[in-house]
Amino acid sequence: MATTFVGLALADGMFSETATATRRPLTVEEAKNLVEGGVESCCNPSHRTTLDALQQKFGIVVPIPEKAPFVKLTSGDCLIVLSARFPRRLNEGETWNADDVAKAEFKFGLWEIN
């Protein structure tokens, strides 16, 4: 059964050796609707501050698992990638402030595994 995942990035190790994928950009509304429709989060809990920024800026609420999951994408699966670029890097224990969130750039894409 196909699964729709959501994450902040993707890695080559998430794909099988023979997998191919197509990507299409998503609008904020499309991304929000897909996430609200039910997804399995492949986010690392250590990225909570970025997920909080997504919620603050766009109202997109991404579930945060207790520990980073191991994901292997198979044919029929989809991965919603919510990429964030902030104006600076965080130091250990720091969180994004309102100015950081306002200046952050986000791109959303839907990867469909063939």
How high is the pLDDT of residue 68? 86
How high is the pLDDT of residue 49? 92
Whole-angstrom distance, CA of residue 62 vs CA of residue 52: 9
The predicted model scores a pTM of: 0.91
Q: What is the CATH number of domain 4-113?
A: 3.40.50.11170
Whole-angstrom distance, CA of residue 61 vs CA of residue 54: 7
Tens of pLDDT, residues 18-73: 899 999 999 999 999 999 999 999 999 989 999 999 999 999 999 999 998 999 99
Which residues on adjacent β-strands are paired with residue 113?
21
Residue 4 has pLDDT above 90, yes or no: yes
Is 107 in contact with 28 (CB distance < 8 Å)?
no
Residue 75 has pLDDT above 80, yes or no: yes
Determine the residue type at 65.
P
Q: Where are the domains of the chain?
A: 4-113
The CB density around residue 4, as the number of other CB atoms within 10 Å, is 17
* DSSP string computed for 5-74: EEES---GGGB-TT--EEEEEE-HHHHHHHHHT--EE---GGGHHHHHHHHHHH-------SSPPP--B-
Q: Is the dihedral of CA 21, 105, 87, 89 positive or negative?
A: negative
Q: What is the mean pLDDT of the chain?
A: 94
